Structure 1
């Protein structure tokens, strides 16, 4: 039993099947990557939980079969521990580019030359990172000390703190004195040229930046500021995945500007923006079935249930997830299964198996609509709810729990095990992420 899983990455389909039918969108993007000359920045905008990361991982999986496209995934949230943003990005690019060309080595007659260019790229990456660290530290000294601290003294401090930062066989050495700003610009240009020289033909790097709106605010801004230096590289396409509204708030807070100015700031980095196609839940039963099976495996939820009962449970889950009822997105479903996993782990013996068919809908409802959860957590279902939007619940569960319900009146019945499951679900409270339960009033 697992209580937490790694988001999205294990939900890759080898048949290029995109959850919630975004195949057409992926084909359009691949055509754009192949048919355009020069680099550009594309932003994919979607709200929390709509499946940006899942879509990107599936797209990267498909792009790896291309000989001319080198897809690279960069998780800003996972990398925001780094104090050197450019080195973090540059190291990722160098590693993935080298891995790509190593796979081609047996058939590539220019392999030796390419390897020399990759080693050169690594060297220039190191030098560029050094120059940018120097520049940034100089600015910080001027700001914090009004020039009182001498640069040479600062070198001694930073040499101890940043003496070595490695990737591959490279060593970042900060023993040199600070260089002028013009040197930084020249080094950046050298990096762009080195990155372009790696391509032996029509290869392009497609660099995906994800989770910008989840990482440390200053790091998110640093990523944007650093990648702008690479925009001139003709063989690099950037794809930024974000919740634009959330990222603009981060920029507003970091720079102390209003919402309109933060949006203008973002416009400096993005050449074109696309909305992730909206999920039409009504026509995606297969996607919900895939999510059910994946989360059962990923959370390692194992129990003895007869196949017909399991299929009936899966059918209930699919129906409950759809537009007709809860309208769940993939992240909300993941959180519901996380609740179930905690509930299982808290029980002895076979009790988890006994209550699973009650845990799952209870957790889904609690994640999506706390008002509805509070109204039915005692196990009572009424056809005369004070909120008419909840009336479907009476008929839905009357059908699913028909063997367990006990009528209290013609329009009221109780399911005792549902109450028992809700009591256990209520023991736990998952951290609220951006977007969770926003739909309570609009349900």
Structure 2
């Protein structure tokens, strides 16, 4: 299986983007610069940042580049993300011995200035004017924001602790409060930028490249704080910030922070982004062929290990990744024919992917993360089927893939398909009818009109086309976590209970024998009894057992009567015959309250006519 992390190997044909960014980074005329690497969730932004970071660190042409990779999400829990990201960047620089040697004092002073900013933020939160507080050396605002640990220290050593707070306040005053007319916020920004720019100059880098990932996971306030920290404090000469983010999330954050005041107000989100992001680069969604290739490459990545990079290199050299050409297993194996890499697991998984990739590619919305998750879930469900149903061939890969594709395309339609299956006696009649309609390319305004969607129609026509003729109970059973109503499989029964079912089927026309068998079933412990009752419903749905079995169960097991009546309504798709009228009469006589809605529904659906309806009601009441 595959971990949902950024990949160090480029399987998404992002090499041109990384080369483009490298050219931009090397161009001193473009500094300072903030690049927006825009793309939807799961499109591969983190992978591209990983590739870019590796390129910068391994750049043999220019050793003057230095890269720092920051994950914005780690600042989510901080009260002030603005100072946190600044502090994190400086601490990364402080870990470089060469930088410390050249500008250690400057880095330390900048970190102290950030500490002062934190004190200011804490004081402001108390509601006491900071300038007045510090001008009078009053430590109250700072003290009111102290943590429990700090207060414990004050209690143990009050004199030393209070003196320390006064010293901090005095230091803050000397650095930030110039006079009564001074605007300390503007001073903070200006002083920090100036000192940060001097520090960058002293460490002698040609470009400090800061990669920021997962910004779109933060809440709106944090997103704005981080963007403003970059714009106001950090974007100076010889710096490039590359921010990987979903542009839609940033726009939402801006609208939350600066909502429209009236219907006539201007939406500032576009202008705001343009003020901070000088160069937007948008990653496109993968095409269906790209997704197919990605699925195939994921298989070989799992088994080839370190050798896999050379395969990707050869695909690049041959231009296969750029020209919408499908990558075949034969092509990959030709590249590594001299390597002893094959295993039974690889061959089996490779064959599976070959069978399913064209079915599923269209459902994954051009998203590599979805592709990984699809494969992982596919393997999980396949393994569950092997465990539940005792065998590698318990289900067919292509059928599982097709059903999962519908689940990914539209979960409501997957639920609808399951409902159709539950209503059918043999196969899925409505799906077969839908297939005929889609084949004729004429979907009328009826119950199938909601399927008049290109992606859904492609799903209907994808292989295997005839799943409407298949027993899908096992597939729905292993997918029951996403279904509103649980399904059931006969393979879940114990060997002994399977024999009971076989006896019921063998004696389906012998009411006396069936009554004897069912009378024993209802005396079993609850779980076994429930499993057998569900099996009876399933077999009735498939017309393997008749209404006589349900009538006997209805007679002997009063707690199940409501469910039995619902089963009769749901499953009866053909007209009730004369023999079955008698069974309905006996059931109605036993429990009219449970059966009355059932009989009414069958009449409304045309499954029983007025004569049979009256016969059931009148004779049952005698």
Distance 1:310 1:174 in 2: 65
Cross-structure match for 2:55: 62
Cross-structure match for 2:244: 241
Cα 1:206–1:162 change in 2 (3 A) is: farther
> 36-45 or 333-342: which moved more?
333-342
Cross-structure match for 1:199: 203
Cross-structure match for 1:301: none
* Alignment counterpart, residue 275 of structure 1, candidates 260, 282, 289: 282
- SS at 1:8's partner residue? coil
Larger helix proportion, structure 1 or 2?
Answer: 2
- SS at 1:71's partner residue? strand
The alpha-carbon deviation at position 163 of structure 1 amounts to 5.7
Cross-structure match for 2:500: none
Cross-structure match for 2:411: 370
Q: Does 1:8 align with 2:11?
A: no
Cross-structure match for 1:105: none
Greater RCO, 1 or 2 (C-alpha within 8 Å, sep 6+): 1
The alpha-carbon deviation at position 31 of structure 1 amounts to 0.2
The alpha-carbon deviation at position 237 of structure 1 amounts to 0.5
Q: TM-score, normalization: structure 2?
A: 0.53
* CA radius of gyration, larger in: 2
- SS at 2:215's partner residue? coil
Cross-structure match for 1:39: 32
Cross-structure match for 2:463: 397
Cross-structure match for 2:216: 213
Deviation per CA, 1:134-193: give whole Å up to 9, x if none. 443454444999x999963111123446969xxxxxxxx976225331652454135413
Cα 1:274–1:394 change in 2 (3 A) is: closer
Cross-structure match for 1:262: 269
The alpha-carbon deviation at position 123 of structure 1 amounts to 1.1
Cα 1:128–1:239 change in 2 (3 A) is: same
Distance 1:318 1:259 in 2: 46
Q: Which stretches in structure 1 are left out of the alignment for 5+ residues?
A: 103-110, 165-172, 299-303, 429-443
Q: Is the 8 Å Cα contact of residues 127 and 187 (structure 1) preserved in structure 2? A: no
Deviation per CA, 1:172-226: give whole Å up to 9, x if none. x976225331652454135413541353352x21112222222122111111121
Distance 1:392 1:280 in 2: 15
Q: TM-score, normalization: structure 1?
A: 0.72
The alpha-carbon deviation at position 296 of structure 1 amounts to 9.9
Cross-structure match for 2:145: 158
- SS at 1:12's partner residue? coil
Cα 1:131–1:91 change in 2 (3 A) is: closer
Cα 1:85–1:121 change in 2 (3 A) is: farther
Q: Is the 8 Å Cα contact of residues 42 and 240 (structure 1) preserved in structure 2? A: yes
Q: Does 1:331 align with 2:369?
A: yes
The alpha-carbon deviation at position 294 of structure 1 amounts to 6.1
Cross-structure match for 1:23: 15
Q: Does 1:426 align with 2:411?
A: no
Q: Which stretches in structure 2 are left out of the alignment for 5+ residues?
A: 152-163, 178-183, 306-342, 422-426, 439-447, 486-622
Q: Is the 8 Å Cα contact of residues 39 and 45 (structure 2) preserved in structure 1? A: yes
Q: Does 1:74 align with 2:96?
A: no
